[in-house]
Structure 1
Amino acid sequence: MYVCNNDIKLPDPDTIVWKYLDLSKFLDLLLRRQLFMSRSDKFEDQYEGTFSEPTYEELIKIAKNNPEFLDNYKSHRKNVVISSWHINEYESYAMWQIFTKNQEGLAIQSTIGRLQESLALETEYEQHIGEVEYIDYKKEYIPFDNNFFPFLFKRKSFQYEREVRIISDLTKYNLTINEGVKTDVDINKLIEKIYIHPKSQNWYKNLVIQLMQQLGFNFSIEISDLESDILI
């Protein structure tokens, strides 16, 4: 269930977002009608859910007479799950390279508004959507008056990601979360268009189209802009 959090920066509902993934993950999404959300401390960036140096210095002062204060923040990362999306009006060559392999894979095109609508199901978990801000962790301050803020800031080295996140804090459910959890979504509201990897073979493109037909989905399948004919 999507919940609006006024403290969290959210782009305009018409903002276009993308998710790049391989065919197996895409089929899992379609068949289960569930979106995978990764445990926040399982991302490659070791700084996920942590604080910048100015904020950490302030936290140390607060924790001086309360040692459990920092421990709670560390354990909190294991209970926060995230689904990452890429903000871009157009396809991203870099995202194809990073998130797909062997010139195979797909990209889901959606919008912020569609994400909100797709999460408006009566599910057990609350989901929040927020845009990531990229800062200098040595100089800039991360506020900590909202439990989601540590997960909405990243180092400037990751600016190319242009990330927006669906986030859930599952602390109150006392779950043992391994890699992550899956949450129900309305597939037809989530997905606006599908793009097949621009360098994939024809047999792969035909396979994706055939699978969509057999599964009864009629998503618009677009030709990648990166596949356009040379005009000279």
Structure 2
Amino acid sequence: MYVKHPNIKLPDDPDTVVWKYLDLSKFLDLLLSKKLFMSRSDKFEDQYEGTFSEPTFGEIKKLAENNPDFLKYYKTHREHVAISSWHINEYESFAMWQIFTQNSEGLAIQSTVGRLQKALNPENNFNQYIGEVNYIDYKKEYIPFDDLFFPFLFKRKSFQYEREVRIITDTSHTGQKLNDGLKINVDLQHLIEKLYIHPKSENWYKKLVIELMKQLDFDIAIEKSDLESDILI
């Protein structure tokens, strides 16, 4: 279930718009399973995911001189944390279409921070937290380590374009082993406000998506991409 965490910050406005760009296969898996896939934190392309900046790591190393398990715990903790990434933006993003969809058969889920909070179902055995990512200089800036979630809420400035809000699940207290990740129960009617179809997709594909939604009995608005608008000159 979603739990508000005192140390994790979110945009003040629950109507802040967030997006998830994904391929049709991943979207179908979401619809059929009614579960949201979360990637294990150390499986992301960014090898720094869940690690510390240089100033913080220097301090942790000093603390670990007489307690090697202290450092080992932080390293292995990444294997028990799963993340679902969402992009803050009032509008759809051309760059996000290119980065996160493999071809012209991609989709974008439009939601809000408030909807994400409501979508997380309480029957899971572990809590989910939602937080906004901070982008810092890992060579100079400090990441606090008095909270186990902080390493997963900081990224290098190179990733600032992502403007990320993330759902974070920590399974360490359950003893559950994560392979590539974890699927959590979600209420799709809360999770998905609108669905956008890739701006370069063919008409047959758009019809297929609409038909699939009907067959699966999902009453979710399907929007034409704003990037597909007709030229006016």
Normalising by structure 1, we get a TM-score of 0.99
Matched, 1:39 2:40: yes
Corresponding residue pairs, total:
232
Deviation of the 1:95 alpha carbon: 0.6
Q: Which residue of 1 aligns with 2:5?
A: 5
Matched, 1:67 2:68: yes
Deviation of the 1:101 alpha carbon: 1.7
Deviation of the 1:31 alpha carbon: 0.9
Deviation of the 1:45 alpha carbon: 0.3
Deviation of the 1:174 alpha carbon: 1.1
Task: Please tell me whether the aligned partners of residues 51 and 151 of structure 2 are also in contact (alpha carbons under 8 angstroms).
Answer: yes
Task: Please tell me whether the aligned partners of residues 51 and 150 of structure 1 are also in contact (alpha carbons under 8 angstroms).
Answer: yes
- Cα distance in 2 for partners of 1:9, 1:208 equals 36
Q: Deviations over 1:145-199 (max 9, x none)?
A: 1110000000000001111000011001112211001000001010000000000
Q: Which residue of 2 aligns with 1:76?
A: 77
Matched, 1:161 2:162: yes
Deviation of the 1:124 alpha carbon: 1.3
Matched, 1:221 2:219: no
Matched, 1:136 2:140: no
Task: Please tell me whether the aligned partners of residues 114 and 189 of structure 1 are also in contact (alpha carbons under 8 angstroms).
Answer: yes
Give the gaps of 5 or more residues in structure 2: none
- Cα distance in 1 for partners of 2:77, 2:103 equals 36
Deviation of the 1:38 alpha carbon: 0.6
Q: Deviations over 1:176-228 (max 9, x none)?
A: 21100100000101000000000001111110001001111111111111000
- Helix, strand or coil for the counterpart of 2:219? coil
Matched, 1:172 2:139: no
Matched, 1:195 2:183: no
Matched, 1:89 2:90: yes
- Cα distance in 2 for partners of 1:214, 1:176 equals 35
Give the AA of the match of 1:8.
I
Task: Please tell me whether the aligned partners of residues 121 and 186 of structure 1 are also in contact (alpha carbons under 8 angstroms).
Answer: no
- Helix, strand or coil for the counterpart of 1:41? helix
- Cα distance in 2 for partners of 1:180, 1:79 equals 9
Deviation of the 1:21 alpha carbon: 0.5
- Helix, strand or coil for the counterpart of 1:117? helix
CA-based RMSD:
0.7
- Cα distance in 2 for partners of 1:123, 1:77 equals 20
- Cα distance in 1 for partners of 2:227, 2:152 equals 32
Deviation of the 1:86 alpha carbon: 0.5
Give the AA of the match of 2:136.
I
Q: Deviations over 1:34-92 (max 9, x none)?
A: 00011000000000000001101110111111111100000000000000000000001
Give the AA of the match of 2:4.
C
Give the gaps of 5 or more residues in structure 1: none
- Helix, strand or coil for the counterpart of 2:177? coil
Normalising by structure 2, we get a TM-score of 0.98
- Helix, strand or coil for the counterpart of 2:58? helix
